[in-house]
Structure 1
Amino acid sequence: MKIPSFIYQYLINPRTVGALLPSSKYLSEKMLEEIDFEKAYYIVEYGPGTGVFTRKILKRRKQKTIVVLIENNKKFYKLLKERFIQEKNLIIIHGSAEKIGKFVNDYQIPYVDYVISGLPFASLPQKVSTNILANTEKVLKEDGLFVTFQYTKIKISFLKHFFPNINIKKEIRNIPPAYVFNCMKSKGDGRFEN
């Protein structure tokens, strides 16, 4: 899929695609900085789009690590199926991240170590965002991590309802510049300083 196709998907689905261009390699690196690929058995990605983060996740994961991609856009879903057809231990689902609980049950995944999200929470309907975050919090293991990026900090207090311990990093080498939120379930973990 060429960049104009990505732009086209943004123009017809601005609330769910969220950006005119795919994420930069710099943003990809910042999104994956906190992932311990040696210890990760189950990684989920919401809204992988054209697979910018996915490529790096698949390259770094252990062979037995199961990666689950959940993509609601049908064009991107088909592209991902074609692009990663040879990958083992990769599950690609066409559906909403709201149903993460059902999806992990369907594939007998006992817990999730990391959830990487490219979803635009600033433009998603509030109810959809609430369902996604509440269900994500339920499937993550106790010391699991939810990593998302946004173009503003407007949703930080909303995210803190579900993940009280959030570390924020800015990546200016992206169009537009983005904030990466590393979100943990418990306040007293001590992993991040706020």
Structure 2
Amino acid sequence: MRENSKMITFLSEYIRHPRTTGAIAPSSKYLARKMADQVHYKKATTIVELGPGTGVFTKEILKRKAPDTTLILIEINETFVKQLQKEFKHIPNFHIIHGSAENMEDYLNELNLTTIDVVISGLPFASMPAIISKNILKKVSHCLDSDGRFITFQYSLVKKSFIQEYFPSIALKKVWGNLPPAYVLSCKKVGV
């Protein structure tokens, strides 16, 4: 019943805000696992999730991260923020920020963080205005540690070369168990 409620909320938010919601349904557990698989949890002290929506990736990250690893969610949609706050309010080393990923550097400064190890993104770069996508990717690249990872997914590879302008090294994995099937992009600034 709870999952059906999340599905209805997600669909209604897509209808209200298609550019920022980007899909008619939350990501599948298969996509969430594949995204979470890309994180090196033993090395990660700070993880940022952009556009967590209803928290599908968040749950998978929380199962795996060390207790002292800080997890920061940045979500622009107020309905999703309220839902996330209700579900995750008692988690230690956990911050939910209602705001734009374009301002992530400001939010990190407020938390006295200068660099981060991992950014996991559920943002719909294909449907967002190019200038906003550029601003977000610049901020992510600037805030990530030199060997940090930017992990995102896309339904097509249309934006791969666009993302590659900021993250030259991209490893791809296809997830068929998602509707629609999706590509997971594990991105680094340098190397493989």
Alignment TM-score > 0.5, same fold: yes
1:119 corresponds to 2:123:
yes
Shift of 1:112: 0.6
- Residue matched to 1:100: 104
1:71-82 aligned at under 5 Å gives the runs: 71-82=75-86
Q: Deviations over 1:85-110 (max 9, x none)?
A: 11010010000001111111110013
| SS at structure 2 position matched to 1:2 | helix
Contact 2:32 2:56 in 1 (8 A): yes
1:24 corresponds to 2:42:
no
Question: Equivalent of 2:181, from 172, 177, 182?
Answer: 177
| SS at structure 1 position matched to 2:158 | coil
Shift of 1:71: 0.2
1:129 corresponds to 2:133:
yes
CA distance in 2, matches of 1:160, 1:137: 11
CA distance in 2, matches of 1:129, 1:123: 9
Contact 2:147 2:188 in 1 (8 A): yes
What amino acid does structure 2 have at the position aligned with 1:73? N
What amino acid does structure 2 have at the position aligned with 1:55? K
What amino acid does structure 2 have at the position aligned with 1:6? F
- Residue matched to 1:165: 169
Question: Equivalent of 1:151, from 139, 151, 155?
Answer: 155
- Residue matched to 2:56: 52
Shift of 1:32: 1.4
1:60-75 aligned at under 5 Å gives the runs: 60-75=64-79
1:141 corresponds to 2:145:
yes
- Calculate the aligned-residue CA RMSD, in Å: 0.8
| SS at structure 1 position matched to 2:13 | helix
1:39 corresponds to 2:47:
no
| SS at structure 1 position matched to 2:47 | strand
What amino acid does structure 2 have at the position aligned with 1:136? V
Structure 2 runs not aligned, ≥5 long: none
CA distance in 2, matches of 1:182, 1:89: 24
Shift of 1:2: 2.8
| SS at structure 1 position matched to 2:157 | coil
State the 4+ residue runs in structure 1 displaced beyond 6 angstroms.
none
| SS at structure 2 position matched to 1:82 | helix
CA distance in 2, matches of 1:62, 1:92: 18
Structure 1 runs not aligned, ≥5 long: none
